[in-house]
């Protein structure tokens, strides 16, 4: 499908939203991107005003409350963005007959270690949801608002999202490696990273092939955070050592899933092959070196 769409991007200041802006610029597609300070998706009037101004064919929602630990105490704020904001966008898109692309998370699943035996290739799109923390609950609430809205939608779940900029595990590890010789990293949480450039490219391919519904996008392979850290240091030529610890040794305000792997079978059936996690990491670090 080679139709020229006009895109409206929310949350353009975040790592996924900024990746969409780079992608749309590179492709020469028509778009208007709004940061959270320019468009507050929790304000229904602002959403409608922006959509009437841009008159998009597709709305890409990258706006989200993403501070997992702070969501335990700022739960109302997290629900406002992750549920009510999605509700506002979905209602406006349904009324205008516009496709809404919305991003969610592996954190909607229970993440129990024993689920690895039930879903050896990762949670499927229709697997039972049961979040372990408030952040996951707010994102699941947003998913339900979207699905029940009657809007035309693509719901994309990602895990361990990493991009060239912003706050993510790769950038955190590189910062810590510049400050110390050894880094403590949990080794009992399994999953696979999603790279922003890969997520955006695959999402646009799904849009243009007319796919709808729920899809998972992340890289191929299963690893722990400690495995990830060691590969980051190896590729970067850093001698920083990784001290593998348990989640109990690194307490946080919000519980984390022990098993976070997402199945990509549906994505593959759509003709899209997941990037290998090591290849994706190489590409990400290359982009960072180029200051993209």
pLDDT on residue 2: 53
pLDDT on residue 70: 97
What is the mean pLDDT of the segment spanning 114-130?
96
Question: Which position has the token pair 């809205």?
Answer: 149
Residue 144 CB neighbour total at 10 angstroms: 14
The pair of three-digit structure tokens given for residue 132, joined into one six-digit string: 């372990």
Q: How far apart are CA 197 and CA 234, in angstroms?
A: 22
pLDDT tens sequence across 255-292: 999 999 999 999 999 999 999 999 999 999 999 888 64
pLDDT tens sequence across 124-144: 999 999 999 999 999 999 999
Q: Residues 7, 103, 123, 135: which is the catalytic one?
A: 135
Q: Is 103 one of the catalytic residues?
A: no
Longest alpha-carbon distance in the chain: 56
pLDDT on residue 289: 83
pLDDT on residue 166: 82
Q: How far apart are CA 92 and CA 73, in angstroms?
A: 30
222 DSSP 8-state letter: -
What H or E segment, with its residue span, contains residue 79?
helix 75-79
pLDDT tens sequence across 37-55: 999 999 999 999 999 999 9
pLDDT tens sequence across 179-199: 999 999 999 999 999 999 999
Q: Is the pLDDT of residue 237 over 70?
A: yes
Q: Is the pLDDT of residue 18 over 90?
A: yes
pLDDT on residue 288: 86
pLDDT on residue 291: 65
pTM: 0.96
- Given a contact cutoff of 8 angstroms between Cβ atoms, the answer to whether 195 and 203 are in contact is no
Q: Please report the domains of the chain, with CATH numbers, ordered by start residue.
A: 6-167+193-219+255-275 (3.40.50.720)
Q: How far apart are CA 149 and CA 56, in angstroms?
A: 19
Q: How far apart are CA 3 and CA 1, in angstroms?
A: 6
Q: Is the pLDDT of residue 92 over 70?
A: yes
Least Cα distance to 288 among 171, 202, 123, 203 occurs for: 171
Least Cα distance to 122 among 269, 255, 254, 266 occurs for: 266
Residue 271 CB neighbour total at 10 angstroms: 10
Q: Is the pLDDT of residue 249 over 90?
A: yes
């Amino acid at each position: 499908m080679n139709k020229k769409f006009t895109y409206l991007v929310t949350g353009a200041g975040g790592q996924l939203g900024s990746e969409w802006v780079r992608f749309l610029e590179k492709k020469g597609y028509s778009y208007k991107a709004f940061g959270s300070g320019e468009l507050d998706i929790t304000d229904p009037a602002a959403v409608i005003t922006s959509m009437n101004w841009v008159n998009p064919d597709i709305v890409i929602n990258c706006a989200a409350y993403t501070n997992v630990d702070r969501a335990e105490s700022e739960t109302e704020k997290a629900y406002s963005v992750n549920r009510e904001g999605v509700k506002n966008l979905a209602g406006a898109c349904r009324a205008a007959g516009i496709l809404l692309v919305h991003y969610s998370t592996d954190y909607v699943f229970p993440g129990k270690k024993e689920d690895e035996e039930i879903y050896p290739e990762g949670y499927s799109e229709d697997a039972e949801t049961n979040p372990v923390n408030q952040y996951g609950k707010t994102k699941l609430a947003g998913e339900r608002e979207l699905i029940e809205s009657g809007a035309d939608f693509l719901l994309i779940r990602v895990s361990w999202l990493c991009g060239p900029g912003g706050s993510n595990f790769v950038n955190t590890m590189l910062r810590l490696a510049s400050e110390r010789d050894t880094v403590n990293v949990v080794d009992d949480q399994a999953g696979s990273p999603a790279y922003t450039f890969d997520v955006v490219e695959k999402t646009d391919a799904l849009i243009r092939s007319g796919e709808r519904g729920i899809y998972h996008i992340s890289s191929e392979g299963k690893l722990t955070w400690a495995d990830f850290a060691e590969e980051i240091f190896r590729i970067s030529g850093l001698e920083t050592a990784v001290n593998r610890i348990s989640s109990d040794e690194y307490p946080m305000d919000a519980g984390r899933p022990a098993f976070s792997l997402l199945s990509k079978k549906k994505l593959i059936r759509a003709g899209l092959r997941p990037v290998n996690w090591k290849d994706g990491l190489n590409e990400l670090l290359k982009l960072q070196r180029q200051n993209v």
